[in-house]
């Protein structure tokens, strides 16, 4: 597995990371813990060194899973986690107040079984806490040796600039894929200017770009996609045009559709590290194989021209979640 550096930092990770959220949160009932520990070990064996989790996934159980799975590999892997979303009466509540912040980092260190967290994100910008205050606490945590690097998730460019001016950011995490290209407008140019790495989540469009979801698909109540407008049957049907384009290219490259979708993300910038998630070994191997799929400059231009003519149907978040991004 090749490696990439996140921006101008010294944080070097595998070209493709592993998003661990879906193992225990967001995509239906949690999978068997032993099976997921085994899968994480398989990822390490295949060269993955970058693993993503968060305090709220579960909550807590995903960090516990990742901590237990990666305990034998200390010093060989990098773990990213997040704070700033609390579950209160079954609802997600933003809370980045310094006292909550301090409790969160201590809890994450304990669950992840580490003395230092490699990359610590604010999960969503909390409008009630100035980003300069968050950056100041992050700076203190770095000085204390509790974290090595910090980042923001789904933040707007002005917030990123303000945060970066207090203490340099290593990475920004946001959704990015062939079906969600908004980061190209302002975010990617800003990150390039500032020397900040980019970690796209849902680079496979929450599974849609694998080509395995059609209008007859159903999602259980514990699957986040059940409330996402993009996954309403009429929008799934309308967006098949994108899947057909990817499948056509995949045939020509002797690759899987998922590999084309990931190769496209990787080809955008050398400081981009996607973190597709999976619970299955065959999907893990398929995703990691994308690092070996090379799209030529001409192929990328043709693909981008085709993508520009496709209008994606359905929002990526329901309104209550959409209101928390880009702040």
Q: 4-35 pLDDT, tens per residue?
A: 999 999 999 999 999 999 999 999 999 999 99
Q: Identify whether the C-beta of residue 21 lies closer than 8 Å to the C-beta of residue 52.
A: yes
Residue 118 tokens, joined: 């490699």
Q: How far apart are CA 8 and CA 65, in angstroms?
A: 30
pLDDT at position 243 is: 97
Tens-place pLDDT, residues 229-247:
999 999 999 999 999 999 9
By the 8 A CB rule, do 53 and 62 touch? Answer: yes
pLDDT tens-place string over residues 46-98: 999 999 999 999 999 999 999 999 999 999 999 999 999 999 998 999 999 99
What confidence score (pLDDT) does residue 299 get? Answer: 94
| Three-state DSSP state, 87 | strand
Residue 177 DSSP symbol: B
Specify the pLDDT at position 147: 98
Strand-pair partners of 201: 175
CB 274 within 8 A of CB 80: no
Q: Could you tell me which of 299, 176, 312, 309 has the C-alpha nearest to residue 248? A: 299
Burial grade of 238 (CB within 10 A; 0-12, 13-18, 19 or more): middle
Query: What whole-number distance in Å separates Cα of residue 268 and Cα of residue 45?
Result: 27
Residue 300, class by beta-carbon neighbours within 10 Å (0-12 exposed, 13-18 middle, 19+ buried)?
middle
Taking every pair of Cα atoms in the chain, the longest distance, rounded to a whole number of angstroms, is 55
Q: Can you give the residue ranges of every domain in the chain?
A: 3-207+268-294
Pairing between β-strand 50-52 and β-strand 91-94 as defined by DSSP bridges: unpaired
The reply to whether CATH 3.20.20.100 applies to domain 3-207+268-294 is yes
pLDDT at 27: 96
Question: Distance between CA atoms of 197 and 169, rounded to whole angstroms?
Answer: 8
Q: What is the DSSP string of 179-196?
A: TB-GGGTTHHHHHHHHT-
Q: Give me the percent of the chain exceeding a pLDDT of 70.
A: 100
176 is catalytic: no
- DSSP E strand boundaries for 28-164: 50-52, 78-83, 85-88, 91-94, 117-122, 147-153
Better-scored residue on pLDDT, 70 or 320: 70
The predicted structure's pLDDT at residue 316: 96
DSSP annotation of 19 reads E
Task: With residue 174 as reference, give the H or E element that holds it.
Answer: strand 171-175
- Ramachandran angles phi, psi of 223, nearest 5°: -100, 120
Residue 263, Cα to own-chain centre: how many angstroms? 16
Sheet bearing 18-19, strands edge to edge: 18-19, 50-52, 78-83, 117-122, 147-153, 171-175, 197-201
Please name every residue paired with 79 in a beta bridge, in sequence order, or none if there are none.
51
Q: For residue 122, what pLDDT is reported?
A: 98
How far is Cα 48 from Cα 50, in angstroms, rounded to an integer?
A: 6
Q: What is the mean pLDDT of residues 36-52?
A: 98
Mean pLDDT of all residues in 293-303: 95
Do 175 and 201 touch, CB atoms closer than 8 A? Answer: yes
Q: What are the tokens at 111?
A: 């669950």
Catalytic-role residue among 57, 120, 121, 176? 57
What was the pLDDT predicted at 206? 97
């Amino acid at each position: 597995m090749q490696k990439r550096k996140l921006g101008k930092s010294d944080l070097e990770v595998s070209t493709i990371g592993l998003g661990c959220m879906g193992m225990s949160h967001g995509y239906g009932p949690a999978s068997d813990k032993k099976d997921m520990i085994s899968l994480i070990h398989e990822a390490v064996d295949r060269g993955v060194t970058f693993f993503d989790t968060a305090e709220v996934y579960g909550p807590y159980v995903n960090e516990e899973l990742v901590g237990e799975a990666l305990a034998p590999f200390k010093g060989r892997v990098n773990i990213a986690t997040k704070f700033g979303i609390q579950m209160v009466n079954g609802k997600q509540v933003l809370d980045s107040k310094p006292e909550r912040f301090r409790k969160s980092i201590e809890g994450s260190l304990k669950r992840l079984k580490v003395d230092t967290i490699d990359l610590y994100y604010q999960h969503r910008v909390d409008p009630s806490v100035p980003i300069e205050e968050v950056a100041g606490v992050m700076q203190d945590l770095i000085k204390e040796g509790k974290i090595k690097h910090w980042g923001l998730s789904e933040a707007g460019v002005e917030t990123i600039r303000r945060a970066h001016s207090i203490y340099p950011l290593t990475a920004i995490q946001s959704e990015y894929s062939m079906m969600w290209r908004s980061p190209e407008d302002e975010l990617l140019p800003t990150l390039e200017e500032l020397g900040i790495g980019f970690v796209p989540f849902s680079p496979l469009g929450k599974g849609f770009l694998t080509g395995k979801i059609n209008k007859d698909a159903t999602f259980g109540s514990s699957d986040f996609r059940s409330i996402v407008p993009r996954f309403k049957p009429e929008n799934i049907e309308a967006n098949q045009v994108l899947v057909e384009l990817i499948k056509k290219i995949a045939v020509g490259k002797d690759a899987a559709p998922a590999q084309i979708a990931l190769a496209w993300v990787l080809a955008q910038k050398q400081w981009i590290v996607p973190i597709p998630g999976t619970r299955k070994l065959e999907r893990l191997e398929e995703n990691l194989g994308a690092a070996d799929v090379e799209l030529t400059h001409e192929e990328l231009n043709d693909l981008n021209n085709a993508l520009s003519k496709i209008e994606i149907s359905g929002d990526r978040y329901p309104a209550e979640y959409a209101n928390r991004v880009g702040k």
